[in-house]
Amino acid sequence: MLKGAIIGFGQVAEKAHACAWKEYANDFSIVAVAEQSQARLKCAAASFPDAGLYPDFLSLLQSESALDFVDIATPPASHPALILQALQQNCHVLCEKPLATNPKDLETILSLSQAKNRAVFTVHNWKKAPHFLKASEILKEKLLGEVRHVELHTLRNQPATSTPSGPAWRKDISLSGGGILVDHGWHLFSLLQELLPQHPLSITARLNIDEGGTEEEASCFLIYPNATAHLFLTWRSHERSNWGILHGTQGTLEIRDDRLSLQRKGHPIEVFPLEEKLSASSAHPAWFSLLLEDFKAEVQNPRLRGKNLREAEICSMLLSHAYQSHRLGGKTVSLPFSVLPASLLREKASF
């Protein structure tokens, strides 16, 4: 039984993480929660009656000396510092996206995780959505042939709030670290790695930024060795929905909120209905629960570590270069193979 603590108890922690940890009660036990809001601490107490409650992570660490892991669910700008604190205490780390928006922070995290021999695992839960699990199955069966183009669209009419009454930290760049590219773009960058398993060569981005400095709309175009991809994300839509399309040499797969449609030459259209809409909520507890199996595997087996961290590295690279492209007026920016030093990459290969 591994003992852990949740850091930050907003909506995603309450609606997704707490449910999943209870499902894995034979493997994990939440023994402490740190949250600065007293109202949210009361919610944490309702979810974990036996857990110690603390106003911040430092207070928690001073009292809880036998932690095996931490689950970080705070606003993005705080992630790197909290991850490093946890690693210094020899804890494995599960962290909400984004792991780190700055490649230098990512390098420091990777180096310390290797030195401490601890797993650092980002919540890439959208890969566990039934829609993308089915899409991955179709791709593995080569039903589309070679994928040549992917489009993914995320439409929202406002940012999500962290609690029912706020605060809307997603619009506060000092807490969020960015706008919709950080909030939803990281998810799409993660999904692209499943749908187009090639390293991207370049990215072009245009953003619409509000007076507070956060982007409310983003359009990104990526070029791969044998394919292209387009991402569109907005907080200014008239509706809340997600959709995507994959064009291959032998077929097309359309991903809608509640179904997938597969078209292939010489075959009738196949429709795969799905019970849960992609845009149904912001929590998705079932997806998070499936992800915990992967986290458990990395904690238990050091040889499995690195894949998720590499995904996070690519997400961070795409995010930082998308911002760079926008600052350059939408200029196409070439992408490095890795933002990490070669020495760390060699270490990671045997990590």
Q: How far apart are CA 251 and CA 81, in angstroms?
A: 46
Best CA proximity match to 203, nearest among 182, 189, 183 = 189
Q: How far apart are CA 323 and CA 175, in angstroms?
A: 17
Looking at the chain, the whole-number percentage of residues with pLDDT higher than 90 is 84
Six-digit token string for 163: 């609690």
Which range is least confidently modeled, 30-44, 202-216, 331-345? 331-345
Rounded to the nearest angstrom, the gap between the alpha carbon of residue 139 and the centroid of all alpha carbons in its chain is 22
Specify whether the CB–CB gap between 223 and 201 falls below 8 A: yes
Question: Is the pLDDT score of 321 beyond 80?
Answer: yes
Q: How far apart are CA 40 and CA 35, in angstroms?
A: 7
Q: How far apart are CA 282 and CA 2, in angstroms?
A: 27
Q: How far apart are CA 321 and CA 19, in angstroms?
A: 36
Q: How far apart are CA 243 and CA 132, in angstroms?
A: 11
What kind of fold does domain 2-125+286-304 have according to CATH? Rossmann fold (3.40.50)
For strand 28-34 and strand 147-155, is the pairing parallel, antiparallel, or unpaired? unpaired
pLDDT band at 280 (very low <50, low <70, confident <90, very high): confident
What kind of fold does domain 131-280 have according to CATH? Dihydrodipicolinate Reductase; domain 2 (3.30.360)
Where are any strands of DSSP class E within the chain? Answer: 2-7, 28-34, 52-54, 69-72, 92-95, 120-122, 147-155, 202-209, 215-223, 228-234, 241-248, 251-256, 259-264, 270-273, 333-334
Mean pLDDT (the chain) is 93
* pLDDT tens digits along 84-93: 999 999 999 9
Report pLDDT for 164: 56
CB atoms within 10 A of CB 197: 10
Would you list the domain boundaries of the chain? 2-125+286-304, 131-280
Residue 329, classified by CB atoms within 10 Å of its CB into exposed (0-12), middle (13-18) or buried (19+), is exposed
Of 281 and 334, the structure prediction assigns the larger pLDDT to 334
Report pLDDT for 79: 98
